[in-house]
Structure 1
Amino acid sequence: MRIFIDGDGSPVKDTTIEVALKYQLEVIIVTSIDHYSLKEYPENVSFVYVDKGSDAADYKIVQLVQKGDLLITQDYGLASLVLPKGVSVLHQLGREYTIETIDGLLEQRYFSAKVRKSGGRTKGPKPFTAENREQFKQQLMLMIER
C-alpha cells in the first residue's frame, strides 16, 4: 500500500506522514509546482510536481494510483475517478469515500454549483480544527490496519 496525498491545500500532510512512518509506508504527495518546497522530509516521502492548472494534480493522481493504494483528498470528483480502480479514499475530516456514497456527494456538489451559478449562496467549509485532525488520524490508522 502506498499513500497518495492530493497536496494542494491539504491540512493533513504532516499527520499522514507521521502515521505512514509508524507503519513504514510510502507517501507520495502530488501538488502544483506553485507549492514547491525545500523543506526536508523523511525518506519514505516523495513529491510529484505538476504544472499549474486546476485539475493537473488530479489527472496525475489518477494516472499513478493502483489497486490497494490509499488516497487522501477532499475532492469528490477525484475520489469518484479512483474508487473503481480499487483505491481506498479518505477525506481530510476522516470520512471514507465509498462506491456507495460517492454518487450522493457528487449530486450534492452539482446542486450547490447550480445554486451558486444562479446567484445563490452556499456554505463553505468550516475551519479545520485539532479535533478534525485527530479524527482523521484515527480513521487513517484504521484504514491502514484493515
Structure 2
Amino acid sequence: MKILIDADACPVVDLAIEIALKYKIETVLYCDKNHVLEKKNSKTIYVNAGDDAVDFELLRNVKENDIVITQDFGLASMILSKKAHCINQNGLIYNKFNIESLLFSRHMSKKMRNNGKRTKGPKKREEKDDLSFKISLTSLIENYK
C-alpha cells in the first residue's frame, strides 16, 4: 500500500504525510512542473503541465489497495476501477455507492456554467475538515493495510 496525492493545491499534504509516517507507508506526491513541492518523508513526481497530465500519471502508477487523495471526481472514478481506495481533502471516501451521483452533479454544474449560470464554489476550509480527513484516512489505512 502507498498513498498517492494529487498534490496541486491539496491542503492536506502535510497531514497525509504525517499519518503515513505513523503507519510506515510510502507517500508519493504528483504535481506539474509549474509547482515546486518538496516535502520531507515523501517522493515527488513532476509531470509536464497540461490538461489532466498529473491525473494520468497518477492513474498510470496506482496499484490495487493504494490510497489516492484527490478532489477530482473523474480521477476518483478511474482510481476506483483499479481497485484502489480514494478520499478527498475533507475526508469523503469515494466508493461505488457515491461516485455516480458525484459525477452527475459535476456534469450538471458544468452544464449550468456553460449556459451562463453561476454555481457555488467550495466553502472555506475549517479545522473540522482536517479532523474529518484524519479520521477517514486513518480508517482506510487500518481497514486495508
Structure-1-length-normalised TM-score: 0.95
Aligned to 1:8: 8
Residues 107-146 of structure 1 mapped to structure 2, 5 A cutoff = 107-146=104-143
User: Tell me, what secondary structure is at the counterpart of 2:68?
Assistant: strand
Matched, 1:41 2:40: yes
Runs of 4 or more consecutive aligned structure 1 residues displaced over 2 Å after TM superposition: none
Matched, 1:52 2:49: yes
Flag structure 2 segments of 5+ consecutive residues without an equivalent: none
User: Tell me, what secondary structure is at the counterpart of 2:98?
Assistant: helix
User: Percentage identity across aligned positions?
Assistant: 39
Q: Matches of 2:73 and 2:61 in 1, distance apart?
A: 18
User: Tell me, what secondary structure is at the counterpart of 2:28?
Assistant: strand
Q: Residue by residue, what CA displacement relative to the aligned partner does 1:7-49 show, whole Å, maximum 9, x if unpaired? A: 1100000000000010000000000111124x4512xx10100
Q: Matches of 1:100 and 1:142 in 2, distance apart?
A: 18
Aligned to 1:20: 20
Aligned to 1:86: 83
- Amino acid in the other structure paired with 1:112: S
Q: Matches of 2:43 and 2:126 in 1, distance apart?
A: 26
Residues 101-112 of structure 1 mapped to structure 2, 5 A cutoff = 101-112=98-109
User: Tell me, what secondary structure is at the counterpart of 2:18?
Assistant: helix
Residues 54-73 of structure 1 mapped to structure 2, 5 A cutoff = 54-73=51-70
For these two proteins, the number of residue pairs brought into alignment is 143
1:54 CA drift (Å):
2.6
1:141 CA drift (Å):
0.4
Q: Matches of 2:62 and 2:70 in 1, distance apart?
A: 13
